[in-house]
Structure 1
Amino acid sequence: MDERQRVVAYLRQGRSFVSWMGYSWCRFRCGISQGAMGADDLTDGTYCWPEGLTHYILEHNLRLPTELVRHILAQPTFPIEQAKQISPTCEVSLDWWYTQKGWNPAAKSFLSETDQEIKDFIRRYDQNKLFFEDYTEDGLRAIMQLAQELKSNPNA
């Protein structure tokens, strides 16, 4: 089994860490059903990840952080008991995610699943009806840049 297959097999064994109130969607807008992307964050007791992460690895060739891949490959088996003990209130770092397209102000990206959602975002942004208190300074800069790009080119 190659490295990617081992990583995907491991991630698919994750235990539910947090369940959200709706399904996720592919940020590349490839057409996969929302149900296939899942609505949970999964964990192995050390790391947590979105349920649809394997889709990005398999279909969009996403490369995970080296530290995470090393962790996964170092495990002789999936640590089921450790995964059961993690609390949904544990601290989660979003540092790696903030470096990916969509968070990175220097990167071209996308905002939502449908063109109508993009139009709604721009309208709410223009009317100052969006709340960003949970975002980092870089995340806010990325959102402002993205809004400007979408206003000038809605197909960005």
Structure 2
Amino acid sequence: MDHADSQPLRLIGYWAGSTAPDWPDPKNFVDATWDRLERETIADYLRCGFIHRAFGGLSTCRFCGRENGALELSDGVWLWPDGLAHYVDDHDVRLPAEFVDHALEYLEKLGDADRDVAWWRAQTSPASGKPR
């Protein structure tokens, strides 16, 4: 991968705190009317990100004080703290439409993708049955 051509990961779900007072306040994102199925789908998407980085300390939820993880997760476009799903699930935090649309489009493409079984089958040598 040529990193010179890659786009920076877009941060989402980092909240205002004592060391970052100018970041968004999660209370401004609460929407109890957000469609339950869409909310659950987005929370699941957030939990399934790739681990980008791990930290030594735990963040705490800005609502309930729960320890909320020490990882950053990514889908290759966006970057978020692993506790973001907790905000969506437990505190009705609705993420911006640009992120939600991205996640739903990605999941739809994945669900509609054809499966290529030939490549995997070809990895076994017919004579020995062992991997090539």
Residue ranges of structure 2 left out of the alignment (5+ in a row)? 1-35, 112-132
Q: Which has the higher contact order (CA 8 A, sep 6+)?
A: 2
> Which residue matches 1:3?
38
RMSD: 1.7
Q: Secondary structure at the match of 2:101?
A: helix
> Which residue matches 1:74?
105
CA shift digits 1:85-111 (9 cap, x unpaired): xxxxxxxxxxxxxxxxxxxxxxxxxxx
CA shift digits 1:111-142 (9 cap, x unpaired): xxxxxxxxxxxxxxxxxxxxxxxxxxxxxxxx
- One-letter identity of the residue aligned with 1:13: C
- One-letter identity of the residue aligned with 1:45: G
Question: If the length of structure 2 is used for normalisation, what is the TM-score?
Answer: 0.52
> Which residue matches 2:53?
18
Identity across matched positions, percent: 43
Q: Secondary structure at the match of 1:2?
A: helix
Q: Secondary structure at the match of 2:80?
A: strand
- One-letter identity of the residue aligned with 1:27: R
- One-letter identity of the residue aligned with 2:61: C
* C-alpha deviation, 1:21, in angstroms: 1.5
Residue ranges of structure 1 left out of the alignment (5+ in a row)? 79-156
* C-alpha deviation, 1:10, in angstroms: 0.8
Alignment length (residue pairs): 74
Structure 1 segments, 4+ long, off by >4 Å, are: none
1:42 alignment partner, one of 62, 70, 73: 73
Paired residues for 1:50-129 under 5 Å: 50-75=81-106, 76=108, 77=110
Return the structure number with greater helix share.
1
